[in-house]
Amino acid sequence: MPLQKISQVVGRCVPIPGDDIDTDRIIPARFMKCVTFDGLGEYMFYDVRFDEARRPRPHPLNDPRFAGASILLSGNNFGCGSSREHAPQAIRRAGFGAIVAEGFAEIFFGNSTTLGMPCVSASRADIASIATIVQADPSKELTIDLRQKSLAIGGMTFPLDIRESARAALLAGEWDPIAQLLDGATDVDRVAASLPYVQAPAH
């Protein structure tokens, strides 16, 4: 099945300020004892959202004003720390379709792209401006336009940056290499059959 071509992501935002938000904060290690990634979304940012008695802490993700948000706003070096794939999986399965931050850890960025979840960068000042708009009116939607390389909200437009290889893959619907490999199974079998060193030995 062909992958979705992703040129725009539109949704409401939730600001999660701070630099160096690492993967252990995004998904604590004790929740990674799972066979599949299903259900990880409920544990996203768990330890900063809930105390030891599972009571909600003050946190943007617990703020009813931001309920239903599908785009995260954050600071620099988002997704740093360990390379656990569970972190972007948790964010995606919590209903988020994109992240806007000043910068991203490289492995987190790659893992997010292969989920079809764009990670786009903007300046600290522009992210602060977007956050101010969102704080004043959380119902306003942000448009992430990968073709135009822009962010638009509340009548204002800001430039975005994204690695060109990731942008091209998202626009072309070629962001998941495993899905591409499975879709091309017939071609893989045909090529494999033509290679003498992978053919089954004669008996």
pLDDT of 37: 78
Q: Is residue 83 part of a domain?
A: yes
Q: Is residue 177 part of a domain?
A: no
- Distance separating alpha carbons of residues 19 and 101, to the nearest angstrom: 9
* Span 30-50, pLDDT tens digits: 887 766 677 888 999 999 999
* Span 74-96, pLDDT tens digits: 999 999 998 889 999 999 999 99
Query: What CATH number corresponds to the domain at position 60?
Result: 3.20.19.10
Q: Is residue 141 part of a domain?
A: yes
CB 97 within 8 A of CB 119: no
H/E segment holding residue 161:
none
Q: Is residue 46 part of a domain?
A: yes
Beta strands in 20-132 (DSSP E): 71-73, 98-101, 119-121
- Distance separating alpha carbons of residues 71 and 156, to the nearest angstrom: 17
Q: Is residue 72 part of a domain?
A: yes
pTM comes to: 0.86
pLDDT of 101: 98
Q: Which residues, 6 or more positions from 110, have their beta carbon under 8 angstroms from its beta carbon?
A: 166
Q: Is residue 200 part of a domain?
A: no
Q: Is residue 178 part of a domain?
A: no
Which amino acid is it at 66?
Answer: F
Tell me which residue range forms the domain holding 112. Answer: 8-172
Integer angstrom CA distances of residue 112 from 12, 88, 107, 119: 19, 5, 9, 7
* Span 144-185, pLDDT tens digits: 999 999 999 999 999 999 999 999 999 999 998 665 555 555
What's the number of domains the chain is made of?
1
Q: Is residue 93 part of a domain?
A: yes
